[in-house]
A and B are shown apart, each in its own frame.
Chain A
Amino acid sequence: MKCLRCKNSAVISGFCKNHFCSYFETKVKTTIKKYNLALKTEKIAVACSGGKDSTVVLYLLKKFGFDVCAIAIDEGIFNYRNKTLTELKKFCRDNKINLDIFSFKKEFGYSLDRMLEKTKTKPCTVCGIFRRYLLNKHSSKFNKIATGHNMDDEAQSILMNLFLNNSEILVKLGPRPGIVQDEGFVPRIKPLYFCTEKEVLAYSFLSGMKIGFNECPHIGKSYRHVVRDCLNDYESRHSGTKKNIIDNFLKMKFGNKSEKMNHCTKCKMPSRSELCSACLMLSQLKKC
């Protein structure tokens, strides 16, 4: 298959290497502009794990000319976080980006592994609570916290909160999450909101980032893991499902302004179109 914009072979999303990178960067820039995520005058803390998503956000915000600093949380997960933080330290050193690391052990007295020995609460719940707490606490001098959440993460979160009847959490989602403003909360932004996880990996690979595959040892115990596999299975059979989930969520959150009720010109019943669906279907049946 040829690239949609030149004669080179396509490698992903219908584009060759160069045109894919350009398409990806434009998509991120458009998301930042459309949802007013950040200004060049603002100081942005990028919440980094050392994985591909947050590293790509850090790289792109710096490339676009934003004032960025990396913040990482060392939860204390044996044989996992130490590896990703080593990669992050190297990336920040090579790209001359300031990096601050805060640990559960130093801040709370326990590593995550030790906390999990003392509670039956799910690992992702414990980790998420303390990780968000530390990120917010140490970002008070910044205007925004940018995270590496991508389209897959967001589609999974929407479904998880629907399935679990968590409407109060569901309504907070979006490229600029949260509905309550408080001076103690640093606003969060998700520049990769419209990028699939596959596109993010492709961009990191094609940009020469050396990011190894690392998976948290606790992932198998999470509900997200179940929803992620179901959604990937569904996407492989019904392409565009993830995009439809987030597009519909945004329509519900920000309102569908195009909604206007008319009346069918033939039967006079309420209809959004000139002809109602029943009259349209009948006219098609009569032609057969």
Chain B
Amino acid sequence: SSLFAIPYLPRYASTYSLPALHVASAIFILAMQAVVLASSPLAFLIFWELMSIAAYFLVIADREPASIKAGLIYLVMAHAGFSCILAGFLVLAHGNPLMDFTLLAQSITNLSPAMLTTAFFLFLIGFGSKAGLMPLHQWLPLAHPQAPSNSSALMSGVMLKVAVYGFLRVTLDVFPHIDTNWAIVVIVISLLSAMLGVLMAAIETDVKRVLAWSSIENLGLIFFMIGIGFVFKNLGLPSIPFFVAALLHSLNHAIFKSGLFLAAGAIISERHTRDIDEMGGLANSWPLFSLAFLGLVFGAAALPPFGTFYGEWLTFQHLATTLSSVPLGIAFLLILSLSILALVSGLAIFTFVKTFADIFLGRSRTESNSKPKPLPQSMVLIILSTTILSLIIGVFVSPIASVLAHIFSPFNHAIQLYAPLSLTTETIQPLFVVSIFILIAFVGYETHQSLLRKRRIKITETWDCGQPINAHMEYTATGFAAPIRFFFRSILMSQKHMLTERITPQNPWILRRKLEWDTTSRLEEHLYTPLGNLVLIIAAKIKRLQNGIIQFYILLILITLVLILGFAI
């Protein structure tokens, strides 16, 4: 991603203050690495905060009003999350944040269940808000698209994974035991996030927001895999496939989402808009780039032979195989999860087909656009390399999965390079899948060439029913997603306003019509606005303390001191 910045950022030298951006990026990357390396809660928290602050400066980098608003929302959410994590650690460690993770794990065995439950949910809120889980997801589709594309790639690709890491680290290393009820809460929240994320991604037309919503969906899937893993662990069933699937999916998501954000950046810098409705026809000008993008789309839609497929396959297969060996109640939960996952994966395909088709296929929907200039080689190569990396994970998924499984049970997993993937009782041979695709490409290319040689291809206009058609008659992304908006209208609650205006005031029949969409989630209205008002009201009440009498302030300090002493003793 940093490599991508070299050809990419100079195009925006006037929008961003480049030195500041570089500093913020460097601190951001450093802090993310430090969080993962931290061995004590204190270091973890410090670098976590550093990461959040650096990300804030990336979000507001272009100093647009929209970015500053998004940055503010992000900052509030990040700090709410941070204080939850801090509180979680303090609850676990009896207020002593200086011990390291192993000591912490030993010391909490004598905590009461109520304390553990509180701590777990504090962590869930903290890490969940960073990972964009429902209902604390609102900042993500606002903040990620506002950052420069290479920073969005880092934020979606890596920062969300840091949240996954934090959650796994705490739940696996520190907590002695994860209650099944807690895990079920995680499952419900994550399935809701996946479903809402993919639905919003399906109807969204801003390319970077599509990617941001899709991140919510994927993080939902990852947290689902973790949650169901804990349920299986408690039932005494093999849980490793789920944890491996979660890690595999995190890895894949980091790669394909970074690639997609970078590609989106390249497209936006050419088209000067983020609206998919105004794009189209790029595949002819940038064939190699579109091929790379199609590969990433396969990754994002979890289709073979790319790596993402195997993570989802492990989950589906393991859920399905264990159905008949669990109690009926749990089986019902598994079936419901399986159906929701199926719908989510179907809609994910929908989302990315829409994105690819409306950006690359057909002809450009705004006719003023001249033929796009060829992209710099280095940009294409970097995006192609993410596609290839995603494919390599798909081909060598079995050794990677064995290594990941090794983390959870350090025995019994020989690492073989070409073995079929077999963590459950079912196996799948990645090489078989890949060879099918190579065969298709080869046969297709040969037949195409032979048809060309026989001069049996004639290039014409699109069939137009007898009157000329133009690019405005093409289906846009908004039109493409219309059936989804209709079928899920009770969930999405999007609002359509038909604005009519008389062209001549006397004649009521000749009207100018305009459609307006409002697809913002109702959740914002019903949850965030009252919450914000509540905070404002409380703040106004507290403000009365600030009355300017110095004796009163001294009294407050005294009361605080007495209270602290009282707690300490």
Q: Do A and B truly interact?
A: no
